[in-house]
Amino acid sequence: MSDIRSFVELLVQPAADGDPDTGALSAAEPLLPPGLGGSLRMLRSDLLGHDEQAVVDVRPGDNDRYGDGTATHTAVIMVEGRGRLGLRIVHEDNGRTLLEKVRVIGYFVPEEEPEVRRIGTDRAVA
């Protein structure tokens, strides 16, 4: 689970120059589900105004409410004790880099109605 936590922390961490559009997110965005990059950029911008850093809560298995059983893990990004963004993840140990080992297959907002988007589609899955 440390691979997943490291990957998500890199995505959420604002770049050293404070620009929410640069850093690890730029490299990973082509591999993310459509729309997730924008959500991560908004979260990164919000973090620039907080003293508290994001905390990543990684759990094994898919989320019963938001997933369909295909994710090996979920990661919820917490800011000031509140779940801000959840990621459905497939983790494979056969890669050499984090981008090869960790694949985001969907995302959700933990405190709202579930809306999970799958790669390659515009339809939401409830």
Q: What is the chain's Cα-based Rg? A: 14
Question: Could you report the per-residue pLDDT of 19-60, keeping only the tens digit for each?
Answer: 656 667 777 888 889 989 888 888 888 777 666 778 899 999
Q: What's the confidence (pLDDT) of residue 65?
A: 84
Instruction: Classify burial at 36, counting beta carbons within 10 Å of its beta carbon; exposed 0-12, middle 13-18, buried 19 or more.
Output: buried
Q: What's the confidence (pLDDT) of residue 60?
A: 95
Question: Could you report the per-residue pLDDT of 50-104, keeping only the tens digit for each?
Answer: 667 788 999 999 988 888 999 999 999 998 888 999 999 999 988 788 878 899 9
pTM, two decimals, is: 0.78
Question: What single-letter DSSP state applies at residue 30?
Answer: G
